[in-house]
Structure 1
Amino acid sequence: MPRFALITGASSGIGLALAEALARRGQALILVARQRDALDSAACELSQRFGVEVLFRVCDLSEPLQISGLLHELEQSGRQIELLVNNAGVGTSGAFIDQDWSREQELLELNVLALARLCHGIGAMMERTGGGRILNVASMASLLPGPWMSSYYASKAFVLHFSEGLREELKGRGIKVSVLCPGPTRTAFYRNADMRLGKLDDGKRVMTPEEVAFLAVKALRRAPAMIIPGWRNRLFACGVRLLPRWVMRKLAGRINRLALAS
């Protein structure tokens, strides 16, 4: 039986690009998302193009009971997960107290609780079967506070710090943990969050999902603690460390407000 990589949010964007990059290297896949038609199409295409086994499971990861069902099915199936990619996530934009609370709650359930739950459940399975790797997808937003996207930035800060802590806890158990921090990427994320990239989307500052996935999968061979794809993003990360937090807070707030207004 093949060893699988399980990827959440795998029906589009970075998740789908990661699935393709892994399939290209002969990796069997389990794709997880909410959209059945998109998952079915992606699974068929990847299997035919690369000759690997590709399964899919429809699961709304913002619903705890559906996560429990997914974990139970994985336990019962006996399929071995050698790589968990926690990519699923959503964003909201605008002043926090003006948002519909149900959207904010969904963000926290998906970006924070679902990711932690899958790390807990699948991490335990990995330990029992000899180890594995976990790649959690955060964002450059994890490095600073983000006014007008406060919940999203905070949720990605959780992913970053949680992943680094988990890395230390699990390295003696045969499980390697890395966190991916992409910058602005040309996906449906901004449209779904009611934002536009505007002047940032000049073809140079914004990477494609395929570029992010290629660099991430390439870096996974070394299993570093943090993967920041693209030299512009790495330069920005250095700037965040050097500049006062109040400056970064003001800058992020200005950029986010402009994206709302564009």
Structure 2
Amino acid sequence: MTQSPPGARRLALVTGASSGIGFELARCCAEDGHDLVIAADEPEIEQAAVQLRGHGATVTAVQADLATEAGVDRLVAALAGRPVDALLANAGRGLGHGFLDQDFAAIRHVVETNITGTLRLVQQVGRQMRARGAGRILLTGSIAGFMPGSYQAVYNGSKAFIDSFSHALRDELKDSGVTVTCLMPGPTETRFFERAGMLDTPVGQGSKDDAADVARSGYAAMQKGEGDVVSGVKNKLQAAIAHVMPAPVLAAMHRHMAEPKKEG
């Protein structure tokens, strides 16, 4: 079953693609023969496009805030009606420190980026895929979604939503020709912890996985049509532990990783 007209290059849409896992996912797509529409909420997306064109892809860069309806609609409009063969919905935001100490505007931005904007984009592109009977969707969840996230409560909750949602959508589409895969990374060497205000935490200062390795595992799982992939042996072990440990124990474990270091 072809997804693009015969002779045409396949098109991949990648969000959160200016750096980190998103950029590496876009690189995987370009190296595998896709043209790209890439998006992020920062001007660095243009620099990412320049690098990705070096892999022979035609790349359209869209700077848009995918936490907003206008941002998602702008991104969809940039497709100009061209069918999307692969949607890699990677855009996400983190937020550290205690919930009661967080600014509510920042909380809302995490929820609207990680959940609301992702759902709006997946629904619009997914409907087009279902109508054609072909397509691949990769959602970037997290092993954080398996743990109550003390000092990262909103982020972990948002990733629990995405982890769950991906499996539900996969089941709904199981006979449609559209596959849904959830990539569940652990701590990864990206700008995530800086943006989340978590550089003063053990997890922010600890060793992390390589973004390129994480992206390759996610891309391979998507291409195979697998339901989910946890990248890295250590993360697989942590995910297994999270499925058997009581929630209070997991919350205490997460506190040790994410609680800001006390001064003095």
Q: What's the TM-score once normalised by structure 1's chain length?
A: 0.92
Within a 5 Å distance, the mapping from 1:19-168 to structure 2 comes to: 19-36=26-43, 38-48=44-54, 50-74=55-79, 77-168=80-171
- Identity value in percent: 33
User: Which AA in structure 2 matches 1:46?
Assistant: L
After superposition, the Cα gap between the structure-2 partners of 1:82 and 1:246, relative to the gap in structure 1 and judged at 3 Å, is same
Structure 1 residue 221: Cα displacement: 2.6
Match of 2:192 among 178, 185, 189: 189
Structure 2 spans left out of the alignment, 5+ residues: 1-7
**Over residues 56-92 of structure 1, what are the superposed CA-to-partner deviations in whole Å (9 max), with x where a residue is unaligned?**
1121111212212332443xx2211011111111111
Deviates more, 1:65-74 or 1:222-231: 65-74
In the TM superposition, structure 1's runs of 4+ consecutive aligned residues that sit over 4 Å from their partners are 197-203, 258-262
Structure 1 residue 98: Cα displacement: 1.6
The answer to whether the 8 A contact 1:2-1:80 is kept is no
Measured on the aligned residues, the alpha-carbon RMSD in Å equals: 1.9
Structure 1 residue 120: Cα displacement: 0.6
Task: Report the number of matched residues.
Answer: 256
**C-alpha separation in 2, matches of 1:86 and 1:170:** 17
User: Which AA in structure 2 matches 1:39?
Assistant: I
After superposition, the Cα gap between the structure-2 partners of 1:94 and 1:220, relative to the gap in structure 1 and judged at 3 Å, is same
**C-alpha separation in 1, matches of 2:38 and 2:203:** 34
Which residue in 1 is equivalent to 2:209? 207
**Over residues 152-200 of structure 1, what are the superposed CA-to-partner deviations in whole Å (9 max), with x where a residue is unaligned?**
0000000000110000001211110010100000111001111125477
**C-alpha separation in 2, matches of 1:39 and 1:56:** 6
User: Which AA in structure 2 matches 1:232?
Assistant: K
Structure 1 residue 259: Cα displacement: 6.0
Matched, 1:229 2:231: yes
User: Which AA in structure 2 matches 1:113?
Assistant: T
The answer to whether the 8 A contact 1:142-1:154 is kept is yes
User: Which AA in structure 2 matches 1:25?
Assistant: D
User: Which AA in structure 2 matches 1:231?
Assistant: V
The answer to whether the 8 A contact 2:97-2:198 is kept is no
Which residue in 1 is equivalent to 2:15? 8
User: Which AA in structure 1 matches 2:101?
Assistant: D
User: Which AA in structure 2 matches 1:30?
Assistant: V
The answer to whether the 8 A contact 2:151-2:259 is kept is yes
Which residue in 1 is equivalent to 2:5? none
The answer to whether the 8 A contact 1:195-1:260 is kept is no
**Over residues 35-65 of structure 1, what are the superposed CA-to-partner deviations in whole Å (9 max), with x where a residue is unaligned?**
23x22222122112x2122111121111212
The answer to whether the 8 A contact 2:39-2:75 is kept is no
Deviates more, 1:173-182 or 1:219-228: 219-228
**Over residues 187-217 of structure 1, what are the superposed CA-to-partner deviations in whole Å (9 max), with x where a residue is unaligned?**
11001111125477565xx111111112222
